Structure 1
Amino acid sequence: MSGTVDRWTTALRRGWRTGTLWPWCLGGIAAVCGYAVATVFHPGYLSADSNTQLWQALGDEPVNDWHPPVMALAWRILIGITGDFSSMAAAQAALLWGTLWVLARLTWRKTGSRGLSLAVLAVGFAPHIMNLTGVVWKDVHLAYALLAVFAIALTVRDLPPERVRSRWALLVLGVLLLVYAALVRKNGIPAAIPVFALLVLAAWPVPGRRRWLAATGVFVAVVLAAGAGVSAATAPLTTRVYAVIPVDDLVHVLTPAQVRTAAEQAGASDDLRDRLVATAVDCQKRQIASDAYLQCFPQDGPFDVTYLDRRADVIVRMWTQQMPRHWKGYVEYRGRVFSKLLFQSNQRFWNGTHVNAGARLHPDVRKEPLNDTLRSALQNYVTGFARDLPMLFQGWFWLAVSLVLVLRRRWPGPYSRELRLLGASSLLYVLAYLPTAPESNYRYVYWPALAGTVALTLVATAYAARRRAAADSLAGEPEDRPAVLPGGRAPETAPAGPREGADAVG
């Protein structure tokens, strides 16, 4: 027995010294952290949108496409497997921390530094990231799915050529996550395009035109097929929710009298004309600058999600007739809403009290109240940073970070091209809100915040690894840096292999 223990002890010490155990240690740390975060948010912080989708997921309310049917379907599947609606919030935490573990493991393999790999894991505890980890929102799903695809692309890029099956399995998983991201957020497609390019470049470092066209065609076909499959599985009511955007423009750019005239010219019914005029008057009176349909539009009884579906064509016709004539007012209005999104984002912390869900709060949610002690501790943590470092919660900062990521030609470390594409995804996502932002809300810039934080962390680790390599060349290897990494490789301090030249050219 003592000989067996000695052999195990010797093997563990050798594994720690050579670094073969550290990725598993990182996995254990990520699992503990993810469980802790899921515990804080249990059973999940739900907004009015979340409650609506929970009713749909449980089959207690018809599915509609005002919110993404794919999210209701995914939630329905999780509930069917686990029997508990809280599984969605737990799955979000698991996806984030699993992705961070993959990125931390890659950092360890590239730098051989335990401290730098732990720094990547620490992204999950950043106040502007952790604040929404357990909030069941489509914005959170988009962000975590895109980040997971980014981690998969980096992993595929570093796989040896002989790992063909692993490569294709990861690529299929990445495509599925990317398709989910495109379906879960109606304006997520611009953000998905650069991440799709990441997958293609990970599989083929120098793809030709035919390969690009083939890969794009396959991706579009999978998105269309998945959308059709989700529709077949959920049979969602059509709402044509996109019409809320022209409603916002019409009632804020035109005067009430002009709205009335525009409605008559477009052939709107008397009911729609009067409601639009009343919306313009009410928003002006209450000084509501956006989200007019939900804030000011008169409703007869309970909210009717199908009202716009029956009148969207007329509303769009009003918009196309009037906005070219009032283009200056339109530009000014959209600039006003977009600037507010960038500089005055609200809801930096969602406390999960469900106050705006009212009577629609599902009975299953009432049975599992939130932990007020943990919620208060998390709120103090987040709001304290929001007070002391407000730029972390503001869109302008992450827009600037994405611009820097895109415009700089070369970043240190092995992922220069990947960081630029990550920045491009964030940039396109923010800019897509310029003509469409319904209100000022931090969750609309959650993906740029997450992507920017991960990118800055990877850049910082690359700079630290470069300085460490320079110091090691003079002073020798430090104790916490393994002499040999798993597989018999020396720790990497710079990008290596055939991709280095491609990155440098890119």
Structure 2
Amino acid sequence: MPSVRSDRRWTIAVRGAWKDGTLWPWCLAAVAAACGYGVATVFHPGYLSADSNTQLGQALGDEPVNDWHPPVMALAWRVLIAVTGNFSVMAAVQAAVLWGTLWVLARLVWTKTRSRGLSLAVLAVGFAPHIMNLTGVVWKDVHLAYALLAVFAIALTVRELPPDRVRTRWALLVAGVLFLTYAALVRKNGIPAAIPVFALLVLAAWPVPGRRRWQAATAVFAAAVLAGGAGVSAATHPLATKVYAVIPVDDLVHVLTPDQVRAAAEQAGASADLRDGLVAAAVTCRQRNIASDAYLQCFPQRRPFDVTYLDRRADVIVRMWTQQMPKHWKGYAEYRTRVFTKLLFRSNQVFWNGTRVNAGARLHPEVREQPLNDTLRFALQNYVTGFARDLPMLFQGWFWLAVSLVLVLRRWWPGPYSRELRLLGASSLLYILAYLPTAPESNYRYVYWPALSGTVALTLVATAFAARRRAAAAGEPDARPAALPAGRAEAAPAGPREGAGAAG
């Protein structure tokens, strides 16, 4: 009899928790965990490109670490392998970070709207074809995107904390700074995208920070990036490559004629091998109609590939660029416009096969020992490429550039996160525009962060619109804040956040 009564009380408690909504966040967590596990299974043991194949070798100690690719990613992979004994853990961690972040956002939407359907819609972002296509591809672009999205979710969580949760607030802020530092270190051009997200984190902690708080927060972030970079260098001792020199190489061989390249090299004091290599690259790119990535596609390379070649010649290449580009500014502007428009309108590699690597490399032996599941791989490929055919704008930079512009330029968005959505759009916008002078080629992974952030932003806007319609149908007052003087609209919903800032 006592057992029956206990079971009845348990049933009543569960039903009550379901009705009042306290059980639903845990249901969302279970759904997110199941989805993340399923996605990780599809991608197991992880899809590798030539870049990630090289970084796996560095993580396993088979080759020295170099800064052509981010040493912090090789170090993180090395630590994960040391803990688990398996290289496939990196792809699983990527899926876990994405779906964990989506769960946090879904929980926030549930808290604001009390709608199970709208909260599930946030989780559905992880299954969007232009998001899921790279979830298990071990790329620094994916790491940047997931780290920045995690900071966004942390900032929204901090924003909603009551004023007495001081320790939780500071723990989350520290986690946000760590994710943001990793984002800045894992992608050399990720700093422009990180700046608005950093501002979002600061504004979550202090809704109206003064100048001193901005200065202090900026100093902490800069110190974290510098200390993180120094720590990674001390742990990995990376070979210097000065990979940034590939950008001026692209400009020189595409803007100048081969004869002009030869003359420019001689004027800058280049060595004979560099001069001949640049001339050969200019000729090859023209003959094969290669519009970008000249150093890897057109420059004569020795085997094995010498990652330190540019390190010894970068100063001369930069000197050539500074001497020649002002004289050929029109050709430079035309060339950079050509490459950027190709990135925006003809992004390639919307799906990475995972069974091969490019640049003449071979998959690492440990990867070949754990082959991909061909059935799941082909199912994923059909899913992604079908959408790429029917909805190509999802995989093109121009669309996400337009989304980011709309997010930034619209003064108010429905729901509680108007300012946060504008900052998210600013992050995407700066990241895309940073490729205008630097894009090495046309590749979808270069717009993966704008695609992810834009999809999340559009989903949050859609859920806010739906919540407003439900509230209007139920006769509830409009949640839109009353008009305020310019510059004070964001300070309106202060409430507990004022106390949060004081507590912080």
Indicate the TM-score class for this superposition, using the shorter chain for normalisation.
over 0.9
* Offset, 1:156: 0.1
Summarize deviations over 1:439-481 as a string: whole Å, max 9, x none.
000000000000000000000000000000011128xxxxxxx
Aligned to 1:139: 141
State yes or no: 1:421 paired with 2:409.
no
Aligned to 1:188: 190
Q: Quick one: distance in 2 between partners of 1:279 and 1:43?
A: 37
Q: Quick one: distance in 2 between partners of 1:254 and 1:229?
A: 41
Q: Which residues in structure 2 correspond to 1:52-451 (within 5 Å)?
A: 52-356=54-358, 360-451=362-453
Pair 1:358–1:265, CA change in 2 (3 A) = closer
Q: Quick one: distance in 2 between partners of 1:356 and 1:291?
A: 14
Decide whether the 8 Å contact of 1:413 with 1:495 is kept in 2.
Answer: no
Amino acid at match of 2:237: A
* Offset, 1:284: 0.4
Q: Quick one: distance in 2 between partners of 1:16 and 1:505?
A: 29
Aligned to 1:488: none
Q: Quick one: distance in 2 between partners of 1:438 and 1:358?
A: 19
Amino acid at match of 2:433: L
* Offset, 1:279: 0.4
State yes or no: 1:466 paired with 2:468.
yes
Decide whether the 8 Å contact of 1:110 with 1:492 is kept in 2.
Answer: no
Pair 1:435–1:358, CA change in 2 (3 A) = closer
Decide whether the 8 Å contact of 1:239 with 1:306 is kept in 2.
Answer: yes
TM-score by length of 1: 0.95
Decide whether the 8 Å contact of 1:252 with 1:289 is kept in 2.
Answer: yes
Amino acid at match of 1:225: A
* Offset, 1:430: 0.1
Amino acid at match of 2:179: L
Instruction: Please list every run of 5 or more consecutive structure 1 residues that lacks an aligned counterpart in the other structure.
Output: 475-490
* Offset, 1:353: 1.2
Structure 1 residue matching 2:22: 3-state secondary structure: coil
State yes or no: 1:502 paired with 2:504.
no
Decide whether the 8 Å contact of 1:412 with 1:462 is kept in 2.
Answer: yes
Aligned to 2:499: none
Amino acid at match of 2:387: F
* Offset, 1:301: 2.1
Q: Quick one: distance in 1 between partners of 2:190 and 2:357?
A: 28
TM-score by length of 2: 0.95
Amino acid at match of 1:188: G
Aligned to 2:37: 35
Decide whether the 8 Å contact of 2:33 with 2:99 is kept in 1.
Answer: yes
* Offset, 1:493: 5.6
Amino acid at match of 1:73: L
* Offset, 1:2: 0.6
Summarize deviations over 1:60-106 as a string: whole Å, max 9, x none.
10000000000000000100111000000000000000000000000
| Alignment equivalent of 2:20, drawn from 18, 21, 33 | 18
Q: Quick one: distance in 1 between partners of 2:415 and 2:481?
A: 6
Aligned to 2:52: 50
Q: Quick one: distance in 1 between partners of 2:368 and 2:105?
A: 37
Decide whether the 8 Å contact of 2:343 with 2:397 is kept in 1.
Answer: yes
Amino acid at match of 1:202: A
Q: Quick one: distance in 2 between partners of 1:357 and 1:286?
A: 17
Amino acid at match of 2:301: Q
Summarize deviations over 1:303-355 as a string: whole Å, max 9, x none.
11000000000000000000000000000000000000000000000010124
Aligned to 1:479: none
Summarize deviations over 1:466-501 as a string: whole Å, max 9, x none.
000011128xxxxxxxxxxxxxxxx996679x9995
Q: Quick one: distance in 2 between partners of 1:418 and 1:300?
A: 49
Q: Quick one: distance in 2 between partners of 1:77 and 1:442?
A: 29
Decide whether the 8 Å contact of 1:343 with 1:395 is kept in 2.
Answer: yes
Structure 2 residue matching 1:303: 3-state secondary structure: coil
Structure 1 residue matching 2:447: 3-state secondary structure: helix
Q: Quick one: distance in 2 between partners of 1:500 and 1:250?
A: 49
Amino acid at match of 2:88: S
* Offset, 1:302: 1.4
Q: Quick one: distance in 1 between partners of 2:364 and 2:40?
A: 21
Pair 1:327–1:505, CA change in 2 (3 A) = farther
Q: Quick one: distance in 2 between partners of 1:286 and 1:160?
A: 62
| Identity rate, percent | 83
Pair 1:505–1:274, CA change in 2 (3 A) = farther
Q: Quick one: distance in 2 between partners of 1:359 and 1:422?
A: 37
Amino acid at match of 2:224: V
* Offset, 1:502: 2.5
Structure 1 residue matching 2:32: 3-state secondary structure: helix
Summarize deviations over 1:130-158 as a string: whole Å, max 9, x none.
00000000000000000000000000000
Runs (4+) of structure 1 exceeding 4 A deviation are 491-496, 498-501, 503-506
Q: Quick one: distance in 2 between partners of 1:361 and 1:447?
A: 26
Decide whether the 8 Å contact of 2:50 with 2:361 is kept in 1.
Answer: no
Decide whether the 8 Å contact of 2:356 with 2:362 is kept in 1.
Answer: no
